[in-house]
Chains A and B, each alone.
Chain A
Amino acid sequence: MLDAIDKELLAAVADLEGLPKGAFNIRKNGRLLKREVSANIDIESHADGQGITVTIKPGTVNESVHIPVILSQAGLYDVVYNNFIIGADSDVTIIAGCGIHCGGLEPEGHAGIHEFRIGPKAKVKYVEKHYARGPGQGRRSLNPTTKVFLDAGATAEMELTQIGGVDEANRVNEAVLGPNPTTKVFLDAGATAEMELTQIGGVDEANRVNEAVLGPDSLLLITERVLTEGSQKAVSTNNITLEGAGSRANMISRSVIKGDSQQDFYATLDALAPCFGHIECDAIIMDSGRNETVPSLKARHPDAALTHEASIGKIASDQLMKLMSLGLTYDEAVNRIIQGFLK
Chain B
Amino acid sequence: MLELKDLYFSVGDRNIIDGINYTFEKGKFYGITGPNGSGKTTLAKLIMGINTPNAGEIRFGGKEISQWPITERAREGIAYSFQQPARFKGITFRDLLAMAAGTDDEDMLLALLRRVGICSLSFLDKPVDAKLSGGEIKKIELATTIARNPRLAIYDEPDTGIDLWTIQPMVRLLKREQKEHGTTTIVVSHNRAFLEAADIVLMINEGKLAYRGDLQGALPMLNDLSACNYRKCVGDRDVGCYR
- The A309-331 residues at the B interface (CB cut-off 8 A) are 316, 318-319, 321-330
Residue numbers of B with Cβ under 8 A of A are: 48, 50, 69-71, 74-75, 79-80, 82, 84-91, 95-96, 99-100, 102, 144, 148
Contacts A318-B84, A321-B86, A327-B100 given; 4 further ones with Cβ under 8 A?
A282-B89, A318-B86, A319-B87, A323-B99
Q: Enumerate 26 A-B pairs (CB-CB under 8 Å) in ascending A order.
A: A316-B86, A318-B85, A318-B86, A319-B86, A321-B86, A322-B82, A322-B85, A322-B96, A323-B99, A324-B69, A325-B48, A325-B70, A326-B99, A326-B144, A327-B99, A327-B102, A327-B148, A328-B99, A329-B71, A330-B69, A336-B91, A337-B88, A337-B91, A341-B89, A341-B90, A342-B90
| Any B CB within 8 A of the CB of A254 | yes
Instruction: Looking at the assembled complex, report how far the CB atom of B183 sits from the nearest CB atom of chain A, in whole angstroms.
Output: 16
Instruction: Looking at the assembled complex, report how far the CB atom of B161 sits from the nearest CB atom of chain A, in whole angstroms.
Output: 16
Which residue of chain A is the closest to B129 with respect to CB atoms?
Answer: A340
Instruction: Looking at the assembled complex, report how far the CB atom of A330 sits from the nearest CB atom of chain B, in whole angstroms.
Output: 7
Q: Are A340 and B148 in contact (CB under 8 A)?
A: no
Chain A residues closer than 8 Å to B50, beta-carbon distance = 321, 325
Total count of chain A residues near the partner, CB < 8 A: 22
Chain B residues closer than 8 Å to A342, beta-carbon distance = 90
Q: Are A324 and B71 in contact (CB under 8 A)?
A: yes
Chain B residues closer than 8 Å to A330, beta-carbon distance = 69, 71
Instruction: Looking at the assembled complex, report how far the CB atom of B144 sits from the nearest CB atom of chain A, in whole angstroms.
Output: 6
Chain A residues closer than 8 Å to B91, beta-carbon distance = 336-337, 340
Q: Are A327 and B89 in contact (CB under 8 A)?
A: no
Chain A residues closer than 8 Å to B79, beta-carbon distance = 325
Instruction: Looking at the assembled complex, report how far the CB atom of B148 sits from the nearest CB atom of chain A, in whole angstroms.
Output: 7
A341 to B96, CA, bound (A): 14
Chain B residues closer than 8 Å to A336, beta-carbon distance = 91, 95, 99
A343 to B89, CA, bound (A): 9
Knowing A321-B50, A340-B91, A340-B95 touch, does A327 contact B75 (C-beta < 8 A)?
A: yes
Chain A residues closer than 8 Å to B69, beta-carbon distance = 324, 330
Chain B residues closer than 8 Å to A328, beta-carbon distance = 71, 99
Chain B residues closer than 8 Å to A318, beta-carbon distance = 82, 84-86
Q: Are B95 and A327 in contact (CB under 8 A)?
A: no
A100 to B30, CA, bound (A): 59
Which residue of chain B is the closest to A327 with respect to CB atoms?
Answer: B74
